[in-house]
Structure 1
Amino acid sequence: MLGVRCVECEAELPAGVGRGRPRRYCSRRCQARAYRRRREHGPATTLRRVPALPAPTGGDPRDRLVALAVELADAGGVDAVSMRVLARRAAMPDHAVYRHVRNRVALLAAMAEQVIAARPPGAAPLPRDPRQRLERLAGDEWAMYRRHPWLLSVLATDRPPTGPAVLAMVDRVVAAFTTAGYDPAAGFRAYLALSGFAQGMALLIPRDPADHAWWSATRNRLERTGRTRERPWLAAASQTRPDTDLDTWFRFGLRGLLDGLLAGARSTH
């Protein structure tokens, strides 16, 4: 029989002792996260921002569950994904889901694996030139965050998943840096700088329609209060929109970063 689990992260809870209300969360962090989601999006059971999705059919049951979880996260963010919600959407009892995915942490790791392992149909082979290869690999990572903004919260942590697809993604970038002249340790540091840039820019990806309204209101307020008059950069920035200009900003930063990283590789010879 399954024990009582945290309603937020699905971790198993210790058996209750004494009197009082039954414990529902494994930690204050989970409790605060659940409260924040209810405050911003309503109770998790309503999933107001997640459209009805059909139960998966055909293929490996675990792969189907992970694919459905990816759809849930794409529609409502990572907080829309829980083992209980996944079971309901898959038309399965809770215990059946746990037979295929150990817990929510394992589910998120499997979701990242599935997204990273997926190759766009007709994708061209990687270029041989290290600079062009790095531009392509960084662009691929950026495109993943654009398609799946929730992926950032899974990968950009001090305990990222380390499945085969994640490690292969790192392998490709480190190999490009070693081809350019870095030793493996320095190549990994260069990878951290490059991936960190992509992840930092991904924080600017709009995740909610309200983000556009906030940007417009903030731009109007800055212009109205005169804060753009003596700041040419702010006046120019106020004419941009993150949803339409973010790719341009990313490419601009990527060019400068690769200029510096590849110059550093040449200086080691």
Structure 2
Amino acid sequence: MSPASSKPDSKACPLATDLKGIGQLIRSRRQAWEFDLLYASELVDVPVGALSRLEDGQSVETVQLFKVLNDFGLAVLVLPKDDAVTAMAAVGHTYEPVWKAQPVSSVVRRMKAPPLVLHNITPTLFLDFDGTLHIGHSYLSDDGEITLDTGRPLLEFAPFLANLLEPYPAVEIVLTTSWVKTLPVDVVASYLPATLARRVVGSTRDVKPRLSYVLDGTDRTYVISSFALGKGLRHWLAIDDAAHGAYHFGPEPGSLVDHFLLLDGLQGISDVSAQRRIQEWLADVHAPRQA
């Protein structure tokens, strides 16, 4: 059974009034997905000991608590105590509070996030390999040889990309391929034609996706978006056959859709329409730089 097919018990009481209650909700969530503690801790990037203590109702660092909650798809709702009765009823539970409501401040300050500054105008291409520069999934043998499950040549479409980029020497490449999880970036880049390899300036290997994005298949999109916005990139395009759900990322829903070219993994960039889209992007980002 895949983790995504298992769902937490919707009948479990969502109200937690102490660390023990929070720990029980987190443990229930993890067990429903059939993740062991070690695997879950790696996905949310917290020490396994911290996750274990949290599930046992023991104190952990606040940052770790909220990271686990967020990556487990859980949220903290803070509201007047008496309103908990209404909130619980809305999700199908009955609850009788033993407290009295307290007066609340009449002043509510709305904190606005600082505006996002996209200061880096270097045109940047986020590049995948499998399903993009070749057809098939790659495998690394014990002796270090990389082959495709389709038996086709590695990076057979790389020359197409090299030709598209040739008139635009300012374009840099950031590798998003899963190869960088196993091999050093310079080694991965060495498989590319020299004209592409020298454009490689880094990879997204150090950006870890949240568990919720791994479960719904949008982890690649999250990683690329986080890298691009974190670097303040203004002109960028991600070409990938697994960058799903772009509409839901960015400062506003839909604001990053035009930055993603979702490819057909059975064609990659050999698809003429995909090449046309890359050409359009190159022309768009080149014009303001010349001006």
If the length of structure 1 is used for normalisation, what is the TM-score? 0.30
> Which is richer in helix?
1
Bigger Rg over Cα: 2
If the length of structure 2 is used for normalisation, what is the TM-score? 0.28
- Greater RCO (CA < 8 Å, at least 6 residues apart): 2
> Which is richer in strand?
2
